[in-house]
């Protein structure tokens, strides 16, 4: 699973380069997120624009990634495909994360 | 579509094979005419049910095959998932209670959503264990596709 990241003063953008986050890659995703986010900005935006499918294991891996950041940092999610958004809504995880339709929305001054 | 269109697939019960199988099945069902508004519900429930087989039914035993049989009718879809692994606890379909979100970051659940999602997205769930085989049937209704 490939992640790339870009860091500005207050925000780190981590982009997922996979069309799915599922049971087959959940553990790897969690590990890659730990490595990628280490020592980064207080706010992390996970760019999910390329992700078309997520299952409950993938969802669990995103929750675990937020826990790994600790209470001083925040994980926001951007670019949710309607399918991915539906899984967040059904499990009520949409009440736990800040969700932005696009990466631009997540980076707008009003979002920070 | 009197008796419906059939789609069959079987694959080894590993996470990687399941991932490919789930993608193939949902693509195949859409090609056979599964209404687009129903496609995401089917894919989510199908993925959770197949992942349960890989992670639980074949946990601690030598993984064998997962067999999936789909029959698409005009207004509903039946999916039968069978495996030769461990039966469901109590030979029953688990309740679909959603994992509580808790009140702190540490309490947030990282799992326990699977059966909740399956219950939420299907019209009917049936399970039987017969001749060493688990058979889970999922039904999805989509009345009046053209209405």
Supply the ipTM of this predicted assembly. Answer: 0.90
Residue with tokens 């399970």, as numbered in its chain: B127
All residues of chain A having their beta carbon less than 8 Å from the beta carbon of residue B121 are 90
Q: What's the pLDDT at A1?
A: 66
Tally of CB atoms within 10 A around B81: 21
Query: Chain A interface, mutation test: which of B41, B44, B55, most A Cβ atoms within 10 Å?
Result: B44
DSSP H/E element including A64: helix A56-69
Domain of A10, in residue numbers: 2-40+50-111
Q: What's the pLDDT at A111?
A: 82
In the stretch 32-71 of chain A, residues with CB closer than 8 A to chain B read: 53, 55-57, 59-61, 63-64, 66-67, 71
Sheet containing strand B5-12, strands side by side: B5-12, B65-72, B76-83, B133-141, B124-130
3-class state of residue A35 by DSSP: helix
In a domain, B40, yes or no: yes
Nearest residue on chain A to B47, judged by CA atoms?
A55
Residue A62 belongs to domain with CATH number: 3.30.750.24
Average pLDDT value over all residues in chain B: 93
Residue with tokens 């059966």, as numbered in its chain: B115
Structural domain count of chain B: 1
Q: What's the pLDDT at B1?
A: 45
Structural domain count of chain A: 1
Q: How many CB pairs under 8 A join A and B?
A: 75
Q: What's the pLDDT at A54?
A: 97
Interchain proximity B15–A92, CB inside 8 Å: no
All residues of chain A having their beta carbon less than 8 Å from the beta carbon of residue B40 are 82-83, 86
In a domain, A96, yes or no: yes
Residue B129 belongs to domain with CATH number: 3.30.565.10
Q: What is the mean pLDDT of residues B133-137?
A: 98
In a domain, A45, yes or no: no
Q: What's the pLDDT at A40?
A: 86
pTM higher than the cut 0.80: yes
Q: What is the mean pLDDT of residues B137-145?
A: 89
pLDDT tens sequence across A79-106: 999 999 999 999 999 999 999 999 999 9
Domain of B113, in residue numbers: 5-141
All residues of chain A having their beta carbon less than 8 Å from the beta carbon of residue B23 are 20, 53
In a domain, A59, yes or no: yes
Of B80, B85, B95, B82, the residue nearest B56 (C-alpha): B85
In a domain, B146, yes or no: no
pLDDT tens sequence across B44-93: 999 999 999 999 999 988 889 999 999 999 999 999 999 999 999 999 99
pLDDT tens sequence across A22-81: 999 999 999 999 999 998 899 999 999 999 999 999 999 999 999 999 999 999 999 999
Q: What's the pLDDT at A78?
A: 98
All residues of chain B having their beta carbon less than 8 Å from the beta carbon of residue A23 are 15, 18-19, 47, 51, 54-55
Nearest residue on chain A to B21, judged by CA atoms?
A24
- Give the gap in angstroms from C-alpha B91 to the nearest C-alpha of chain A: 23
Q: What is the mean pLDDT of residues B7-26?
A: 96
In a domain, B147, yes or no: no
Report long-range pairs for B99-102 (Cβ below 8 Å, ≥24 apart). B99/A91, B101/A92, B101/A93, B101/A95, B101/A96
Q: How do beta strands B5-12 and B65-72 pair?
A: antiparallel
In a domain, B91, yes or no: yes
| pLDDT bracket for residue B103 (50, 70, 90) | confident
């Amino acid at each position: 699973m490939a992640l790339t990241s870009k860091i500005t003063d207050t925000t780190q953008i981590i982009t997922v380069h996979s069309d799915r986050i599922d049971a087959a890659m959940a553990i790897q995703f969690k590990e890659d997120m730990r490595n990628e986010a280490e020592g980064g900005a207080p706010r992390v935006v996970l760019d999910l624009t390329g992700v078309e499918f997520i299952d409950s294991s993938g969802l669990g891996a995103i929750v675990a990634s937020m826990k790994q950041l600790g209470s001083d940092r925040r994980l926001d999610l951007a670019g949710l495909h309607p399918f991915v958004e539906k899984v967040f809504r059904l499990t009520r995880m949409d009440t736990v994360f800040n969700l932005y339709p696009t990466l631009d929305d997540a980076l707008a001054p009003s979002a920070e | 579509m009197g008796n419906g269109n059939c789609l069959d697939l079987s694959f080894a019960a590993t996470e990687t094979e399941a991932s490919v199988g789930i993608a193939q099945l949902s693509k195949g069902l859409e090609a056979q005419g599964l209404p687009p508004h129903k496609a995401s519900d089917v894919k989510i429930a199908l993925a959770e049910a197949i992942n349960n087989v890989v992670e639980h039914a074949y946990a601690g035993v030598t993984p064998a095959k997962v067999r999936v049989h789909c029959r698409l009718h005009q207004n509903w879809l039946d999916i039968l998932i069978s495996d030769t692994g461990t039966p469901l606890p109590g030979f029953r379909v688990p309740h679909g209670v959603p994992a509580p979100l808790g009140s702190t970051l540490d309490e947030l659940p990282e799992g326990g959503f699977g059966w909740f999602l399956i219950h939420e997205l299907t019209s009917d769930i049936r399970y039987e264990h017969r001749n060493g085989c688990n058979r889970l049937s999922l039904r999805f209704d989509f009345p009046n596709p053209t209405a």
